Structure 1
Amino acid sequence: MTAQNFENPAAALDELRARLEAGLVAIGLTKTLLARRAGLGRTTVSEAFSAADVPSAQTVGALARALGLAPVPLLALRAAAVGGPAVSEGETSVGRPIAAWNPHDLEVHPAAAPASAGSGSLIPAEQQRAASVLPGYVRRPHDDQLAKLVAATASDGRSRMAVLVGSSSTGKTRACWEAVQSLAEAGWRLWHPFDPTRAEAALADLARVEPHMVVWLNEAQHYLGAGRGLGERIGAALHSLLTDPARGPVLVLGTLWPEYAEAYTKIPRVGEEDPHPLARELLAGRLIHLPDSFDASAQAAAQALAGAGDRQLALALKGASDGRLTQFLAGAPELLHRYEMASPAARAVLNAAMDARRLGSGLHQPLSFLEAAAEGYLTDDEYDTLADNWLEQALADLGRPVHGNLAPLRRVRPRSEPRVPTSPASAYRLADYLEQHGRSLRRLLCPPASFWHGACDHFTAADERVALGETARLRWRLRTAAELFRAPAATGHPEALLGLARIHYTLGSDQHAEELYGLAADAGSVAALGDLYWKRMRAGDENTARLIDQRAAKAGDLVATLRVSSENTSEEERAAQEEEFAAEQAAVAAAEGYASVVDYLTALTKESWTDTGYTRLRRQAYDNGYEDPYDYLFSLWSRTGNDEVGKRLCEAAAATGHPEALYQLAVWESESEEHAAAVDLASRAAGTGHIKAARMLAWNLEAAGDIAGAEHWHRRMAEYGDDEHLMSVARLRQQVHDTAGALAVYREAAATTGIDLVHCLCWTQDTAWQDLCPYGLDPDGTPSAPWQAPLPGSPGTTCWHGPSPDGSAVHASTT
């Protein structure tokens, strides 16, 4: 049924809304989410579906794009609903209504965007394009120039032209798109000459351009610089269009890179050929220049939009450097595409660089490290088929820039100034966007052994070795951690000394641990004092623990300060502090018109996931020092102690997929021994990468008797680096009397995670194996005196600790 079939406007309006409703049902969105996707207000969307007034053409176009519907039929229904002429595909004029265009079809770059709150993942480029998601727009001085020109064209009926000049991905095309939105309501059309080529399409159909038309010449070099004389002929046709009053008003918008603008406007010397005389005349006085980056004022405006919930701008502000927000947003999807389509060798290099950044390396990574680490990321077949110059090929591929002059991995050129810190002679930097993507994509993965060997051999900066050593320690790669800590510790680095102390403590070498804790504390490590406090408390030495706590409090440790303060605070003073807090919250509630704090919190819970409520709550959360509104609500709820409100809060947040809310509900269900419900909630949270939920899921599945499921999640946690869960896999194998399987897992731990095999065997309940562990390290992290003993369950196998018979330095090996 077309718009012409309707006898009255009301029927056309009913049909328009029916199609919008059908699209909404088909795509499975709420109106709130639809409003966010379409870039419209919640009230605007609600009225489009139900109010008596006919929605604007701009609203209909935005809804059509967000729902994946063809805009032209909907705009025809909208025209019939207001009693105007229907839009027909067969009209003699070129172009179509502005509202019918998708901005990405006009070459507005898709922008990088997080997929959903709390997921930690990112939307692939093709999905971003389909969803037509654009970040909030920050107006800058060139927008004011362009807006004045557009307004004048619409009001006085004269034709005008403007060409925006700026480097790649500085926001030229988006600025043009924003500028023409004011013309959409007035029924203007837009024509983008493109097929069969841009130049041929423009030359063929410029004569068909009618009044109230925007001629869209994005990348104008394809028109003005076309070969075989086409560029000059297009320039002449545009000049005729703009100077003929009978054909106006028409607005011609174009974009150019600076080098093209300079080439077309350059005046030749006497005797030189003049290749662009008509283009130079056409562009005279019509160029608007864009800056390469956002100034302080524009960045502040972007920050305000990010604070109000624009997660794309928040991502750009965090990842872009020197105010180059548009370059970051435009180049990020292409960077992701390059990563996904990279050759095995190039992807291996990127994976090594991603893991290095997320596990503690600095921005600049030595080429020698990338080469050494990358090998472990390749399968045997991939490694065997590598070309001799595989590294050079991979680096050349990864160094090619995308939009915004961004490259997946670029070489860092050392500075020559003696006072400026320099990078290694051959160092590379990973693109910021890929670094963030790697932190999400690889957060549950543990790097291969080649990564750790490369880190030990090729990172020399003390802070990098300490950061990498700490991540190795947390993943139970104790030998690697000790090697990374050793050199910085020798220079008195407090965190390196602390890392070695914690390794010794883990392995039961209390005397060495105590010495190293003392050295770390003397070097300035407050965390070492915290560890010593708990060691003394567990040993029952409360007097010494209090002295250590006082020392930590003087050093600025907040937790120690609170403990010391609490010890010196009477019950009456603590009660007074609680009353003061309660009074403050009651005052806030009263100011908002609520009878009690619980009533206030209940109302916040109900409105927190609506558009207006979320915006208000987000602002309030920021004002109170919280980044996530859920965290703010949770803190309020925890102080009221009202579990009913807490559950209502978590249920509201869980309905949106908030991982922490799902996890909290799972905890409640687990405490109520509702294991099936706890498993369901924890699995949903774990699916988003929530680490605590994944850990909880493993234990709940085990409690429910699901050995296979428990093993799966224990292994997932082991891949993340929590080797306690690998020990749990072995324990589960023992529960089902699979001794060989358990021993295989212990050997796997020794081979793949760096835990010594003898230490693995200590996790078993077999006392014969436990007796084989006189384990220790010297204070510098090297093995203590060697020993050997037969390995139970493996006849003829001997465990060595210390130097093995062939003289190699090992912690444990089997021969």
Structure 2
Amino acid sequence: MHDEQNGHHRALTELRERLAGGLARARLTQTQLAARAGLARTTVSEALSPTKPVPSSKTVAALADALRLPVQELLILQRTAAEESGAIPMGGPGRPVGEWEPHDLEVHPAGPGETAAASGTPAARVLPGYVTREHDRMLADAVRDTTAGRSRIVVLVGTSSTGKTRACWEAVQPLAGQGWQLWHPFDPTRAQAALEDLHRVGPRTVVWLNEAQHYFGDRTVGEQIAAAVHQLLVSRERGPVLVLGTLWPEYAHQYTALPAPGAEDPHSRVRELLAGSTLTVPDVFDAPAMAAADALAECGDVLLGNALTRARTDGRVTQDLAGAPELLNRYQQASPAAKAVLEAAMDARRLGVGLHLPQAFLTDAATDYLHQSDYDHLTDDWAEQSYAELAKLVYGKQVPLRRTIPRPPRRPPTPTTAVGTAAPQATGPQLRLADYLEQHGRITRRHMCPPASFWHAAHAHLTNPDDLNNLTRAAEQRHRLQWAHYLRHQAADHGSTEALHRLAIMREGTGDREAAEALARQAAHHGKSEALYELAQMREEAGDGEGAEALARQAAHHGKTEALYRLARMRANAGDREGAADLARQAADHGNTEALYDLAQMREEAGDREGAELLACQAADHGNTEALYCLAVMREQAGDRESAESLARQVAQHGGSHALYSLALMRAEAGDRESAETLFWQAADHGSTDSLYDLAVTREEAGDREGAEALARQAAERGNPHVLHDLALMREGAGDREGAEALARRARPEALHDLALMREEAGDREGAEALARQAAERGNPHVLHDLALMREEAGDRKGAEALAHQAAERESTDALHSLALMRKKAGKQEDAEALARQAADLGSLPALHSLAVMREEAGHRESAEALARQAAGHGSTEALYRIAAMREEAGEREGAETLARIAADYGNHALHTLPKLLNSLWPYGLDPSGKPTPSWQP
């Protein structure tokens, strides 16, 4: 049934005519109608527009109610229009976008109650008018991409109650009339639901991953979920899809931070998935957003108007709407006992305890948070009264501490051994702290160490090994060594592989080998074989080869074949080639291709070429071509060019061009340019951009500039911009400034950077600054920094400061900080402090630290301490420890202890020199109160 006259479906035409007639009769503007209906202005405009898709059933119901039109009749028209347009539900998990209620998707409720809709429709909780900000515009671009057929993922990152989930909700509304579905993985747990059904997601589906840490941060399946999401996004058959998620900044940083060298990388797949896919949601409304909110309030949006009266000063409108101020009031005005419970919950969450807090733990933990006079006045039912008080609703329908019932696990239990049993599930009521109060506690209580009752309650009531392990680390970071010791044992008793691992190494260090092995085997049985591996290394270093081998074989049996491989390397380094070969074979039998690589080298060195090639080919078949590559280089060095090239081509056939490239370099160094160029071309044909680089440089040196540029462009197109960069520098060195600049602009910003420094060294300051500004405009302000330092060294302090300020204007405060350090080194203390203060005022934490130290060195101890505390409040205790160490060295132990104790209460922020100072001051640790712990024996 198609209206041929106007090109629209008849049902949709009639629906829009009736809505437009109602709007005219009501004498409202679209903005006023949006406010009355509790909808976004854009949603109303699109519902009435003849060029937009069918509006959702939720939108039609809200508009009909606001215009006093018959809701059921208009909903029938909406359904008919949706059928006529082909917007029908599809297979796979989820249901049509228009059937979702925003609060079911965890959009924060706003306002004290519900609005009764017209007869025949359920009561609906009203959302305040929506203010579009920059992140909404970028999110809308992603939605448009998906409607054009391209799958997208966007994860909104922002602090609690900043409107992340509401932004996602508003963004998907245009999809409601286009037949899209929305799936919110939630039951039985978020992670389980996602992992089990992601493979079923079909085209035109929104995957809703609100609070994405519950999916990607799951210790067991987080990486698998990330891999499944990635597969969904790249699958043409299943697209287009839109994946939307939200995260707090601390989780985003945790998942995207690169691990330290040699450390585990628990979030590699999540990091890859989030790369380029996060979108920051600001904490506050800026001036344009406040103006837009004012306009909505003036049109009758009561909820938004009330929020603006409270949040106009700080711009935290969304937090106010979500009930944050009332939550804060409830905390600040709580009874002493209820406040103690909340603070115990805040400390538990910030120190790493999970979302679900056992009530028995909180009750016992709270007692030492009470002042003695409040404690003396506690009644027998103080706990019941406190929990009842904290369960009362606040503005926004939130509670400070709510009862929660975690679903029991449905997976097979972890295998156990006779040494330890699986962690028992927590019994009794469990509670969850409100998000806003959790974040408030993280900020306001970061400088506090919980009292003794907290640690005692954790030891007595917590059973989750991850919770216990996190608290063990928190105790160690705060130099509460005795509690760390007991909590680690408790974590091990409940199956923490990390605790078992650490205890095994500690027992080995004390000579208790039997206990060490038992603990290591238990950790391996729970999936962590590193303990066996480390024990094997320790035994080998101690000369116990037999014991080392036995442990290495056990580690290999549990999947850690690296143990046998590393042991083989240790034997080889010790001169035991036969023993090394035997262990390498054992590792190879367990599938470790690095062992095959080592064996191949050993066979080649022993003259067994055929055996070496066989082993190298076996390694290549398993994806490791390094053995073939190594043999190729060894044969080239031995003068067997034909065999070397043959092996290099085998590497290329397995997808690696580096062997051909290396042979080419060796031939070039030997003076055989013709053969080298042939190999360079062969390597380039197999994808080596480095070969194109060398060929381009060769052409440039021979005067073939056109050929050099052509090769450089090819390399750049294949992902290697260094060629254009280096050609630019070569032309600059040859005096061709115009050609150099042209190439540098086509290369990466570092090329302009280097040209600028060359011009500065040549005395062309004006040209250097011009290039530096070009580089800064392309996102590289560091060149201004470097020029500033060069001018400083040349004695041009005024010019140095001018450039440093230009760098700072482009969000690089490093230049000001570096100048400050240079002035300090030159003895210009006053200048140094002034520059460091400027950098610190612009947000540089290292500069704030340096300024604190400078003030201490100058004898201004009070201001030094204040600055050090300020730095600690922003997450760095380095200044506190540095000043404490300075006072300790000066013999002022009391002053050193005061600052070190403050720093310890914040926790050790990965500064490797700090435990040394703490151990020298308090070798047995500190009690929770901050007093030195008396001598005790682990």
- Normalising by the smaller structure, the TM-score range is 0.3 to 0.5
Whose RCO is larger (CA < 8 A, sep 6+)?
A: 1
Q: TM-score, normalised to structure 1's length? A: 0.35
Q: TM-score, normalised to structure 2's length? A: 0.31
